[in-house]
Chains A and B, each alone.
Chain A
Amino acid sequence: MLIHLPIANLPVDMFLILGMGLAVGFISGLFGIGGGFLLTPLLIFIGISPAVVVASVAPQIAAASFTGFMVYWRRRSIDFALGAMLLVGGAIGTASGVWVFTLLRDVDLLDLMIALAYLSLLGTVGVLMITESVQAINRARHGKPADLRRPGSHAWFHGLPLKMRFKRSRIYVSVIPVWVIGIIIGFVGAILGIGGGFVLVPMMIYVLRVPTVTVIGTSMMLTLVTMIAATVLHATADHLVDTLLAGLLMIGGVIGAQFGAHAGQKMRGERLRLLLGILVLMVGLRFAYELVVPPQDIYSIRYIGSS
């Protein structure tokens, strides 16, 4: 059934969008991520303008992370103090990201930077996840006990000043790396139109040594707040949020996420991480392919304005 999107200004198949939301929602529920890094390229691929996609995916990620947020909030596994400190960095990162976004668009380098950023980010995270999970699977196969030490023992940044105690997570760390992580996630999110959960969670585990109990819930709190802010900012600044598109994605997304979460409970953690790593790496390679292979048409058009 074709439906005309009011802001994107083109007709799309309603069930295709619902289906995409459902599929990405399933993956996000399965791995506990927002799924923006999959949804954004998919929507651009079906012909919706990248600017509208980046702006309209934000409320969809907000909806998905709010569902997760409620679940973790009921289990009391959200570290609000840690989330607030991450948000301080996140706000700075988002603001500078939006600034750089406009700057790059003006000099026509945005497409290249987005592709390079996706490639390097997804490539690195993908390879790291695959190696880590393969090692874990091998360890389990050879019957060795899992590494009981918390990963990333004492590193230089643990000696930084401004230490703070985060009670719910039972950690005592300097707020400087917390802010830096917030800044990185905010910056990357603003430029790439992704929540950044798949980067934030490993960073929190390996750098801040946040225990698994609070890591997902706290990461969802950060995603939720930044994506709500992004929705309002995009709507005010460039009027490109397509509510109809976002609404369809949300409905598909929240339903898919439930099935994904259910399926995820039946799978082992390291298998899940291996699958997610492969998925992340594949999306990264897709960007590499686009950069290296000669394009079908070396020319492209970009709309500048109506004056």
Chain B
Amino acid sequence: MRRVLCALALILIAYDVRPAAAERLVVSLSNHRVRVTSSFAGEDLVLFGTVEPDRGKSLRASYDLVVTVTGPPQTFRTRRKERVVGIWVNADSREFVRVPSYLAILSNRQVGQIANEETLRRLQVGLDNFLLPQRIGLDIADTVRNDPYRVAFVQLESELGLYREEPTAVTFLTPTVFRAAIPLPADVPTGNFAIDVKLFADGAMVARTNSALEVTKVGFEQYVADAARDNGLLYGIATALIALFIGWFASVVFRRD
């Protein structure tokens, strides 16, 4: 099913691009490898790019640009509290399966002004239109955009700064040269991030390209994280020994008798 959908999407994209293949996008990222060190407090990346004419064709007067950055997929459960005999308990929940752990939709103006609803939905432009599959019974499917669990999930992720829609993050320096600011919060998940850049003109997508970045822990951070993951037992014993050492050290230093 997924394969069929992908194929369908590819055909649609091809269809979308073919009649207007007059532009080409060239982008470059300020940093492809974000290093999380013990002083990491978030980082802003910059994506630069230009719109190039293809084979002597002329450029249009104005363009719109949407940059979608997605972090490594993770599964979350959104729970809803209800009052049961006077106390608030998690009564119901929905699972969001393999959704981006980080999702930023950056554009030069409100995505609603860039293209019509149907185009935006088809190209998954905007937080409202991005596919967030939920497990409902035995099926995994995206719901309508005003599904309360979906709204709550996007809201909570936005509060954490992990999901964001920023209609001012892309700036056109000249009609064809642009820059986009990609804000990575301090608790950004590690892994591979995909960057999807879509160029719109007159409400239709005219060019598309992609890039990628990697968030990795380095130095002490990486050492600890790797040790905890790969050698759990040794790591645990080492932590316990540190605890005993500090405890013993204190009892010697502060000895009164």
A108, A258, A300, A301: the one within 8 Å of B250 (CB): A258
Known contacts being A9-B189, A301-B153, is A4 close to B41, with CB within 8 Å? yes
Please, which residue of chain B has its CB at the minimum distance from the CB of A294? B88
Q: How far is the CB of A231 from chain B (nearest CB, A)?
A: 5
By a CB distance below 8 angstroms, the chain B residues around A295 are: 81, 88
A255, A290, A297: the one within 8 Å of B156 (CB): A297
Cα–Cα, bound, A7→B227 (Å): 11
Would you call B146 an interface residue if the criterion is a C-beta within 8 Å of the partner chain's C-beta atoms? no
Would you call A307 an interface residue if the criterion is a C-beta within 8 Å of the partner chain's C-beta atoms? yes
By a CB distance below 8 angstroms, the chain B residues around A292 are: 86-88
Cα–Cα, bound, A239→B239 (Å): 12
Would you call B254 an interface residue if the criterion is a C-beta within 8 Å of the partner chain's C-beta atoms? yes
By a CB distance below 8 angstroms, the chain A residues around B240 are: 59, 62, 228, 231-232
- Give per-residue flags for A287-302: 1 if the beta carbon is below 8 A from chain B beta carbons, else 0: 0001111110111111
Q: How far is the CB of B45 from chain A (nearest CB, A)?
A: 18
Is A299's CB under 8 angstroms from B79's CB? Answer: yes
A2, A10, A247: the one within 8 Å of B242 (CB): A247
- Give per-residue flags for B28-47: 1 if the beta carbon is below 8 A from chain A beta carbons, else 0: 00000000111111100000
A-side interface residues, number (CB < 8 Å):
63
Q: Is the interface of A mostly helix, strand, loop or mixed?
A: helix
Q: How far is the CB of A68 from chain B (nearest CB, A)?
A: 8
Q: Total number of A-B contacts with CB less than 8 angstroms?
A: 198
By a CB distance below 8 angstroms, the chain B residues around A241 are: 228, 235-236, 239
Is B187's CB under 8 angstroms from A10's CB? Answer: yes
Known contacts being A7-B225, A235-B239, A300-B81, is A66 close to B87, with CB within 8 Å? no
Known contacts being A232-B240, A299-B152, is A74 close to B257, with CB within 8 Å? yes
Further pairs besides A9-B187, A306-B74: 8, Cβ < 8 Å: A2-B39, A63-B250, A66-B243, A228-B244, A232-B237, A236-B236, A300-B78, A306-B73
